Amino acid sequence: MKFGKEFTAQMVQEWRDAYMDYNSLKKVLKDIARIRQRSVSTPVAASTSKISLKRKVSLYRAFSGLTNRHGSSPKKNEDEVILVHAVEQQEGADGHYQTMFLMSSDTGGECEIVFFRRLDDEFNKVVNFYKMKVQEVMDEANELTKQMDALIALRINVNKPMVEFRGSDLENLASDERKPGRHHMDVIREVEMRAEGNLEEQNQNEIVENSRDNYGKGKGQKVSIQGSRPTSLEILDHVQINVTPKTPVSTLKGILMISTNSATPFGKKELRKAEERMTQAFTEFYRKLQILKSYSFLNLLAFSKIMKKYDKITSRNASKTYMAMVDKSYIGSSDEITRLMERVEATFIKHFANGNHSEGMKILRPKARRERHRITFSLGFFSGCSLALVVATVVVIHARDLLKSEGRTQYMDNMFPLYSLFGFIVLHMLTYSANIYFWRRYRVNYSFIFGFKQGTELGYREVFLLSSVLAVLALAGVISNLDMEMDERTRSFEALTELVPLGLLTVVVLILFCPLNIIYRSSRFILIQSAFHCLCAPLYKVTLQDFFLADQLTSQVQAFRSFEFYVCYYGWGDFKMRSNKCHGSRVYKSFYFIVAIVPYWMRFLQCLRRLIEEKDAMQWYNGLKYFSIIVAVSMRTTYDLQMGMTWKIMAAVSSGVATIVATYWDIVMDWGLLRRDSKNPWLRDKLLISNRSVYFVAMALNVVLRLAWMQSVLGFREAPFLHRQALISIVACLEIIRRGIWNFFRLENEHLNNVGKYRAFKSVPLPFNYDNDEDREI
């Protein structure tokens, strides 16, 4: 792999604008090579005569002797190509370097001047960005130092560790207790005070030892994660512990202004939660140090590579001079990050891994998920099985002529809605698998955006495998229920085969909530947690993970109605006779109305919560969008249940308004497209896909698939060759496909916003707040 591609592949995508622009510098070098090649292609005779003239003149030059070691080389000044110096900086301003090219009169000298000017600009950009990030991590290290002081004090207060006393101390305490007027509790207090003093003495000795170990050459800035003073229990008098999670109860108390205990007790529960938060903070902080170290290494390597290319093209020797300057610069000579990483490792292993180096490093450096051959094999196996079952289903239907069978309508009214639920889930998983594939291909950092723990996020192969397994189970159930023949004596179907859909749904639910560490437990629990937050909206703080899942649920309205049909069909339907009276029940109609509104209502409440917390007016407009969809869905559902021209007109108008508003919001707000003044006409300034026509096709598809939303109010309720349930399922599948397309461009826009703000790390709330400090986050 060429260095340019490797350099791009190893970039932190959120910082890519801060890296050296290697490709633009290569283009300048190509221009230099083109000019030099053009100048070399002169007539052969002329070039031959010049060469022979030079050779003749060289024969008459002075001879300095073979053993002359004292004279300086006369070519030293002639070979000097560039002069690099640091420009004097004003106080408070960032310094920068300038390169003077000494051979501008040579052929192509103008392009070489441009090259070094751009090279200096890139180097100054990299150095200034690196300085800024180093200062940020130093500030965060100081904050973690204060947090560690409070955590150690909390450990002493909660655990009350046993401290060894000298024999003289014990004798003095015993004699004091025997003195008249000396109370037993006074002796206990003195014991605790001496224990605290001994612990402080131990901490002081540890700090002295650590300061000796960490002594090194630097610029005078010293950062210690453990602390610069002995830990004392007095610290707890100046801090507030902030480990109480935000729950619906606490949110309701805040809304109702019910006072809660301001002072959080210092107990084992609070200590455990504080340690969990500090572990997360250290892990994220260490990852930031790793990325910053990688940033420094990659850019230094890039400058070395580009200068070697320059020397090769121009046949000069400028790289040695320039790289000497790079090595002496801040990014080349600074070792604060390396020393800080070593200190973080030592502190974390000692205080969070009980001195176990291997266990501590496993937490600090989690291994990336490895692609396993068994996943690839299982994926191919189950994908082939699902395709074979699809063919088998078509063959059975054709061989038995089931499309013209008398039981066709009965099957479509009763069994088809049961199995269509799994079809909707499988299709949504397939689109999500495709999203992951393209996110990875175009380097969208989806795991960071969703807040997944490093190494636990699912890849497209895993998601595709799960969807294939579910498809195989569902298709096997479909084949088992394709028998239209009934027992002539009882006029009923086999109870076992009729319970297959319910059994399959039960298995899926049990696997989803299974507490055992099987079948991607961490991903399942994240899904359950986000779904619970959506159901409890607006009582939980809204994260991107939560509202993204709620948006997915808005495209699964028909799946919710299929789940409702499960309850009705197996609850009070006669499933042995393959019949039901669900559509005649008022309760069923009420819930048929409610389940269609619930997903949009959740998103509406999430928008209100974000409006109150973030004070963002756009969330108000987004909430109005979802409210208009709620009105449209209500009108359409009422028209489906009651018919009538009045309801049809109201449904058509409300659906039209909701479709226009939602389409505009999808393209302009969620995707960030249709920018008139953009570098790319009617798109964005930055695009991940080089082929711009893809964006216009996606916008057109979004409009067309949104119009399918209105099929129930435009008169296309039935087709001559399709059953009504089949038509409803096709429209639901189109909406799922539209959502899959929306997912990619929505996350692309979010990723580009993170790139524009250099956001590459998630925020971890710290457990302690000092009295004189505001709430801080890493």
3-state secondary structure 607-650: HHHHHHHHCCHHHHHHHHHHHHHHHHHHHHHHHHHHCCHHHHHH
Domain map (residue ranges) of the chain: 1-40+96-160+230-368, 372-440+460-472
**Listed ranges 415-429, 568-582, 642-656; the one with the highest mean pLDDT:** 415-429
- Terminal CA-to-CA distance of the chain, rounded, Å? 36
pLDDT digits (tens, 9 = 90+) for 499-539: 889 999 999 999 999 999 889 999 999 999 999 999 998 88
Euclidean distance between CA atoms 293 and 174, whole angstroms: 57
The answer to whether residues 218 and 140 touch, using CB atoms and an 8 Å cutoff, is no
242-256, 264-278, 367-381: range with lowest mean pLDDT: 242-256
Q: What mean pLDDT comes out for the span 317-323?
A: 86
pLDDT digits (tens, 9 = 90+) for 459-475: 999 999 999 999 999 99
At 618, the pLDDT band (50, 70, 90 cuts) reads: very high
| C-alpha distances in Å from residue 471, one per residue of 373, 414, 476, 504, 712 | 21, 20, 8, 11, 28
Angle between helices 586-614 and 557-572 (to 10 degrees): 140
- Decide if pLDDT at 78 tops 60: no
Q: Identify the CA nearest to 767 among candidates 135, 154, 161, 261.
A: 154
Burial of 150 per CB tally in 10 Å (0-12, 13-18, 19+): buried
Q: What mean pLDDT comes out for the span 436-441?
A: 95
What pLDDT sits at residue 220?
A: 44
Q: What mean pLDDT comes out for the span 652-656?
A: 88
pLDDT digits (tens, 9 = 90+) for 707-737: 876 665 555 555 667 788 888 899 999 999 9
At 79, the pLDDT band (50, 70, 90 cuts) reads: low
- Decide if pLDDT at 445 tops 70: yes
What pLDDT sits at residue 245?
A: 67
Euclidean distance between CA atoms 424 and 421, whole angstroms: 5
The answer to whether residues 550 and 570 touch, using CB atoms and an 8 Å cutoff, is no
Q: What mean pLDDT comes out for the span 727-752?
A: 93
Pick the more confident residue, 219 or 123. Answer: 123
Q: φ and ψ at 45, to 5 degrees?
A: -65, -45
- Decide if pLDDT at 227 tops 50: no
At 222, the pLDDT band (50, 70, 90 cuts) reads: very low
Cα four-point dihedral sign 672, 674, 678, 680: positive
What pLDDT sits at residue 387?
A: 95
Euclidean distance between CA atoms 653 and 713, whole angstroms: 10
What would the two tokens of residue 773 be? Answer: 């400090």
What would the two tokens of residue 373 be? Answer: 């051959």
According to DSSP H, which parts of 263-407 are helical?
A: 268-314, 319-328, 330-333, 336-352, 357-364, 373-399
At 403, the pLDDT band (50, 70, 90 cuts) reads: confident
Angle between helices 500-512 and 521-535 (to 10 degrees): 100
| C-alpha distances in Å from residue 417, one per residue of 392, 621, 677, 685 | 20, 36, 48, 45
Pick the more confident residue, 349 or 167. Answer: 349
Q: Identify the CA nearest to 623 among candidates 659, 662, 657, 671.
A: 662
What pLDDT sits at residue 92?
A: 41
